[in-house]
Structure 1
């Protein structure tokens, strides 16, 4: 989208020139309209949305984040909202319902046609956070006893109401998944070829499985769709690759926010009120500030040591900064490996051993450099203190940073929460404790 078009819209908004706004937004693609709406406050967003053509409005609404959809629902007239809600895909509809107040959600559900209400209610019956809440119940399933020609006829009849037809689940008479077949294979097969001869083994996920884990599996397998089954292995829906990628994007955003010491905003930055930005940060700042009192207490305990060798105070920022960075590096690496399924809580001993070796190696390298530099500027004893402290701090920080995300997963907590902010606070306090104990032992004070 060009800068000129953005400036035109913002100027027309400022002048409340609805005619110019209508021409501008109706000339845009849905993706461009979404980009504009994400930059506006709730009032201007509603004004712009009302100016869209009817068919354009539905495509734009479906492409918005659920939080922004919720804002629009509150701003639009009930009749407009009811039409939009009925036109959404069932899985997207459920995601919006999770964002709305219960009274609004009930009213919208009552306004749905009976069949759509039944499908939506089925999805709502699965636990929050499960893939059952994010799957699509609108799919084309083929019976295993069909031929390729019969299967193509079924697909053609269902094109209008199917989420995807590129990967098709194959079931037996009890709706149990026995395989999958691609549309390409169906079209290239002879019409009288049995589906059993062209289908492949199916990878499935349980409807109650965690949504992020199911989406990760879809991405790892590199498939266009995964069949979703119930506890009796009967087909109940599909997870398409676009929905899987959206789930992973949301999870990645949350992890990155929490590792940085904030709560995820759940909406675009410019669309978030200042109060939401404050709330997302203030709790973590308070927690970290309270945790930092441990560092102050350590400094207070060793105040006499500092007064005897004032030069020790000069190296405090270097040591706690290096320790915090080492711990954060380890935590970020292991959290990522955990998300990809490379490691799990059962690997805690292996991860601890590997990070111990990594931390020791890094500490040995950094400590050697610090020893030589400090000895050249000050003296050999102080250089020994700094070198040994870096060795100890890096080893401890890497080990703790690697283990904490695994411990978090073991107790069913978010690994990102236990990563950078808490590790930095922990390493600061324990690093200073190691520093002063080593200084006392080497300097004899």
Structure 2
């Protein structure tokens, strides 16, 4: 087939020492920044609005519109914070981008900062990825040494400092207000909104919080124009994006393509599901999005189409699971993650994820009862829409969708005394059950 891939962010990833300033400039890097500094900030914001760039961190909110929410300049500081706390299970696009082409992000930071009137930007990186943190630090230092950052950047009278901050490894800090609290040195927990970060964000000052891929896309838009960007993708989901294929696929990796491409097309380029197996289920946007099956192979991967099909595009983390996988076990592992990463601030998420984890463990290990499925769905219903932030809602998505799509598999765990995909374990659970029941009675 003809490849629909559109390498823009990933265009230089295979170049020799692609992460260096020298390589980035050899491929036209920082040309967009020079062009941007000849424009009025309002012109840049309008260009990004016209491009239809939507946030690439999951929510898909229009980026230019988000910038436009900042109040009029009052003479005080305003900030840009780049959310590089990539933590969603299955999501793995920002880390390779920062590793292979950190200067694309730094150039995007410089252009965005100029557009919104920011003189100090922050890149908040997940603490565990020390190699990425070090690479960003080196790239920022290169930019300072070359006069691209700091006082009077590029001799244009623009000042910009960039701080790379390593978080403490909390998934909740991917939520923008929890990230801001963490950046200020407090425990990372979501803030009550309003006020929104655009009005009172970092240090209670107007703040823009954007994802790595969103900011890294800005230089190409400024350099090539909004019409070029809207020529790709769909009417309401314009442009390109990184699609992360992982799991049971022959050639996992990052596939940069226009929004609206289908998983069938991506699988064709990735060599398909591993030989001897068939696709069972997959996530369109990471573990917090409702599951899809082979019936959804031709759903266009854009925000509207995926939403209409019952899921969310999210971070375009396409986790592929074949017919050897137990859906209950997969969902239980995700639920353990969400229960562990809940910050505990609100009762629905703190208590709800705990009970979801317990019930799923009971079903998976062969001691579940038929009523457990109703309990699962009831707990999910009491979390959904009632949690302080999106973590609670995300924890319910794989559970409710998997019960809807694979209810018979859950029931097989309950009636068969264990996982039907693990016969040895199922037989072991069956032998143990009378002894366990007897000890409970005697106790």
Give TM-score scaled by structure 1 length.
0.27
Select the structure with the greater relative contact order (CA < 8 A; seq sep ≥ 6).
Answer: 2
TM-score, normalised by the number of residues in structure 2: 0.27
